Amino acid sequence: MNKYDLEKRCLDFAIKLLKILTSLHKNPYNYKLICQCISSGTSIGANYMEANGAESRKDFVHKISLSLKEAKETKFWLECLQITNPESKSDLMDLWNEANEFTLIFGKITKTCNQKI
């Protein structure tokens, strides 16, 4: 995989996220954290795909900004899940690292686009 193929990278992240999160214990506090993390984590790629089909530069920046926001939110939920699931900390940390890279990538894209506007 080309490391710059963000569409594929976002999809791979979403699939890995779903596999790991659905393997966690389903208890009352985990259930809410898992649902929130799945929602934000899969939205990263969905918003990026929408950005690639944007109708204007402003629309592109808006969609990329949503990907950035969702990546940041996903990092928060993953941190919570690491605390409540210490036995899965390594897998969750791998996901957190990828979400962090998305925040850096989408943050840079947003900043660059805003400087050009």
**Per-residue pLDDT tens over the stretch 73-99:** 999 999 999 999 999 999 999 999 999
At 117 the pLDDT is: 66
Q: For the chain, what are the domain ranges? A: 6-116
Of 98, 77, 96, 63, residue with least CA distance to 30: 77
**Per-residue pLDDT tens over the stretch 100-113:** 999 999 999 999 99
Is the pLDDT at 3 greater than 90, yes or no?
no
**Per-residue pLDDT tens over the stretch 13-31:** 999 999 999 999 989 989 9
Check: CATH 2.30.30.140 for 6-116? no
Is the pLDDT at 35 greater than 90, yes or no?
yes
Q: Answer yes or no: are the C-beta atoms of 29 and 84 closer than 8 Å.
A: yes
| pTM of the full structure | 0.93
Is the pLDDT at 1 greater than 70, yes or no?
no
Q: Under 8 Å CB-to-CB from 105, ≥6 apart: which residues? A: 6
The band of 116, judged by pLDDT with boundaries at 50, 70 and 90, is confident
**Calpha distance 112→19 (Å, rounded):** 34
At 115 the pLDDT is: 85
Q: 69-78 as b/e, with b when 16 or more CB fall inside 10 Å?
A: bbbbbbbebb
Proportion of the chain above pLDDT 90, given as a percent: 90
**Calpha distance 109→95 (Å, rounded):** 21
